[in-house]
A and B are shown apart, each in its own frame.
Chain A
Amino acid sequence: MSHDDTGANGPHAKLIRMANQIGTFFLSKPHDEGVAGTAEHINKFWEPRMRRHFFEVVDAGGEGLLPIVLEASASIRRPAEERKAG
């Protein structure tokens, strides 16, 4: 994956923006509460493949993500491997 693919102009740009929007809301909270809130929100509302893409961004260095989101990523559940066939 090239450097550009994970940045603010790559295919995950929308995801990065959404994660940062969540982080931005929690910026007005006390720091620890804000980090926990960001993680909880993503855990509660993001489907596994969104979180999978999220971790692609994080694992590539997290370019474009706000610090609060990066910090929260430690408490965000990594989704299980993708399963085929129902």
Chain B
Amino acid sequence: MGLIHEIDYGTPASKAEKQVTLTVDGFEVTVPEGTSVMRASMEAGIQIPKLCATDMVDAFGSCRLCLVEIEGRNGTPSSCTTPVAPGMVVHTQTGRLKDIRRGVMELYISDHPLDCLTCAANGDCELQDMAGAVGLRDVRYGYEGDNHVFAKDRTDGADNFRWMPKDESNPYFTYDPSKCIVCSRCVRACEEVQGTFALTIEGRGFESRVSPGMHQDFLSSECVSCGACVQACPTATLTEKSVIEIGQPEHSVVTTCAYCGVGCSFKAEMRGDELVRMVPWKDGKANRGHSCVKGRFAWGYATHKERILNPMVREKITDPWREVSWEEAFAHIASEFRRIQYQYGRGSIGGITSSRCTNEETYIVQKLIRQGFGNNNVDTCARVCHSPTGYGLGQTYGTSAGTQDFDSVEHSDVIMVIGANPSAAHPVFASRMKKRIRQGAKLIVLDPRVTETVDSVHAKATHHLPLRPGTNVAVVTALAHVIVTEGLFNEAFIRERCDWSEFEDYASFVADESNSPEVVGKLAGVDPETIRGAARLYATGGNGAIYYGLGVTEHSQGSTTVMGIANLAMLTGNIGRPGVGVNPLRGQNNVQGSCDMGSFPHELPGYRHVSGDAVRDIYEALWGVKLDNEPGLRIPNMLDAAVEGSFKGIYIQGEDILQSDPDTKHVSAGLAAMECVVVHDLFLNETANYAHVFLPGSTFLEKDGTFTNAERRINRVRKVMAPKNGYADWEVTQKLAQAMGLDWAYTHPSQIMDEIATTTPSFQNVSYALLDEKGSVQWPCNEKAPEGTPIMHVGGFVRGKGKFIRTEYVATDEKTGPRFPLLLTTGRILSQYNVGAQTRRTENVIWHDQDVLEIHPHDAEQRGVRDGDWVRLTSRAGETTLRAQITDRVSPGVVYTTFHHPDTQANVITTDFSDWATNCPEYKVTAVQVGPSNGPSEWQEEYEELSRQSRRIAGRLEAAE
């Protein structure tokens, strides 16, 4: 093994097509026009000494170390800022250059501590490397003069005003100004890669220092802790605290982040079986070497003390847990499930696959249910997030996934973000998007709030449509109205790729006055001119790309909005090439994969309906059983059936439905009515309060497999340590299946992928060998597209002709009135992930330790609510309390909160209304009232007591809080 060393070419690659040939130290090299001499030399295998250059940021030319001599040119130009020219003859190592470089290094070292042996960067320091590279043997200047190195003057002990103490405010990395060489790589990484502009160089000349914000510490500055600066730093100035604590890693393995649907590739850098740090991998095609605070740093949950490592069983949910052997746990589940099926019928049990687990694990959970339980009662968390995407895009285009790869955004001219806040929820994609916006692309945002995406530094939205929650369909249809009535549609595209008569029907529908911005604007609370401006820009501004999130799907008309979005892209011809498309931003790491793998109760893997005889034949032949041809229960239906008494047992892998699903009281009533609830997870999550069996899970660091991200990219997950609980999740499911009498004998997840490839046409060519060779592939990956499909619908839609579908706006039944006059909508913040089970168990809580209710100053004043007050939040479903934050990011009449903390119980408030087509819950609209409160509600107090009681483990003392 050993560490994976990525070559640093010094400057970014040029994308020019024209090639240029030059000579470096006598070797001929051909590179694209616009390449720097430094990069060309590296391509030729010659590394020019450098400090301020690195290929993640543009050349800067400040360190004066990378100088070269070029025949026919005067002086010694810096190779990082000098572009190649045809026939150029470069010398990188001459007597003159050697002298200059040694002189430069001597100056650097004269203001740098010489504590290399005890320095955290020892062995990974470019300053150290360069001192070696230039042959520095002596520093003539001494350390007596001005310096940034020592706190006290070495001669008289007086305070050295130039010295600055180490900033340890960030939980994950330190900033030690005494080691800084002011190369400004961190400042440029923050600007160019992350796009936050949190860092600057303050002062001039020798006084220059890196400063977060306005001479603040990192934690109180705008820094979002993405880690790009730490990665860029050539010295120990910015260093991961884990490296300081553990030391340098000795081997690394490329794997995939287990947080959001961007699916970033990381090198897990290890010392033995201890994880030292996660470093974004440059060749990762989703992230291109960038990361966010979650993937880069928030992996501490993997070894958190609350992780459960032994299986546990209990008779009743009021009993304490009893630790048992794996065999006993499996035998207990098998006998209970069989008993329940005997007593209540074959359809009385089911399961939920995890969008956090691998494709292979998800595939075998649905297989267990279909083959072993003999029914189709399988669902996954996509039910509560992107099921409308599956339905809406399936109807219009013929396939249910995003149309582009993330690289596509580099070719977009107009980016429309609808009901998504990528800066918080998909940060690495947001950085790539903002980079494009800084290059001149325009941004349109449809969101009730002024999100971070709306008003980012140097990436502000040209049009923000702050629509009332619940009016998506009306507004999206109004955009189409403008495009149609102003003649901005792409007739040639529509005639070629879509059904013209369906277009005519759709056009006559949208052209109706009731869909005009003037009418819609009133009910949606958006200025009609803003709607018109946005529509014109999207239709005529060049390549138009739509990115959307759960603000689109989690409504009673979620599926209709998805169709409306698909219609917009067809109308304008924005489909089937780089820079355009319809892109759902998927929430969880493998929610795309879990859908692909047949986790829906009506579909076998590859989105094939269970009623299709030919499809069932494939699996019946392979699995040796008769499969049910009727659709199974979806999660909300399972809970309804449980309350009714016909659904009694469930196997839940890596999903916390009690916290994540709406109408908590209904969920808990459903779970409480079941006779055998099996929770397979890392922690005793909220759902486990109602469980009879707990199976400990493994983290993404502890198993092999694949995740599929929002761009349909299948990425490898690689095991870097043994499962602390003893078994990878796929092994646990397999042992459960065996206990239930199934003859499974997988010895490695690659065999599961082989079965998937054999049975699923869109995965036909996928294998671990191919993934190892290519790094990743995007499905469909089969005979027609042997290396995968970066962009869908090129030359024609998957379904044949694109289908325009009427999108009639129907207001949700969830309406405000005298009792509940405000609309609650929900969302996420950067540092926390989903229900917080992972991120709450990391240092990320420093940024967000509780959910707060955002409320407009007018609404707050009317109710006598001050900033930071406890407030009671009430809906017809229930009530909870949390603290108020007064802000004009929300409009009057709208309140907003996050759902990262279980004690907030935001879902006690949300209702059981759902999307008409898929039952995806309407999280984004709840009519509520807000009033002052003294503290936690009765439900919150009772619930806390219940949680405490239900987490007792026999023979163990309760942890002192």
Contact = CB atoms under 8 A, between A and B. Distances in A.
Contacts of B919: 18
B630 A47 contact: yes
A47 B556 contact: no
B342 A47 contact: no
B110 interface: no
Nearest to A47: B633
B806 A84 contact: no
A18 B631 contact: no
B374 A44 contact: no
29 contacts: A11-B644, A14-B912, A17-B813, A18-B914, A21-B916, A22-B916, A25-B559, A28-B509, A44-B602, A44-B609, A44-B611, A45-B602, A45-B634, A47-B632, A47-B634, A47-B637, A48-B630, A49-B641, A49-B646, A82-B345, A83-B345, A84-B345, A85-B342, A85-B345, A86-B342, A86-B345, A86-B346, A86-B373, A86-B374
Find the residue from A29, A41, A84, A86 having the highest chain B CB count within 10 A: A86
A27 B344 CA distance: 38
Given A25-B560, A27-B808, A28-B509, A86 B633 contact: no
Contacts, number: 74
Interface string A36-72: 0000010011111110000000000000000000000
B341 interface: yes
Interface string B900-934: 00000000000010101111000000000000000
Interface string B611-624: 10000000000000
Interface residues of A, number: 25
Given A44-B609, A48-B347, 12 more contacts: A22-B916, A24-B916, A44-B631, A45-B602, A46-B631, A47-B630, A47-B632, A47-B633, A47-B634, A50-B637, A83-B346, A86-B345
Nearest to B350: A47
Contact of A22 (B343, B807, B917): B917
A79 interface: yes
Contacts of B338: 86
Nearest to A11: B644
Interface string A16-35: 01100110110111000000
A44 B601 CA distance: 10
B810 interface: yes
B55 interface: no
* Secondary structure call for the B interface: loop
A18 B916 contact: yes
Interface in B314-363: 338, 341-347
B640 to A, nearest CB: 7
Interface string B791-809: 0000000000000001110
B917 A47 contact: no
A24 B374 contact: no
Contacts of A48: 347, 630
Contacts of B637: 47, 50
A48 B820 CA distance: 37
Give me the 8 closest cross-chain CB pairs, A-B, nearest first: A21-B916, A86-B346, A28-B808, A86-B341, A28-B806, A84-B345, A47-B633, A86-B374
Given A24-B810, A27-B808, A29-B806, A79 B630 contact: yes
Nearest to B611: A44
A66 to B, nearest CB: 12
A84 B344 contact: yes
Nearest to A19: B916
Contacts of B509: 28
Nearest to A48: B630
A79 B644 CA distance: 18
A21 B556 contact: yes
Contacts of A41: 917
A52 B824 CA distance: 35
A18 B377 CA distance: 19
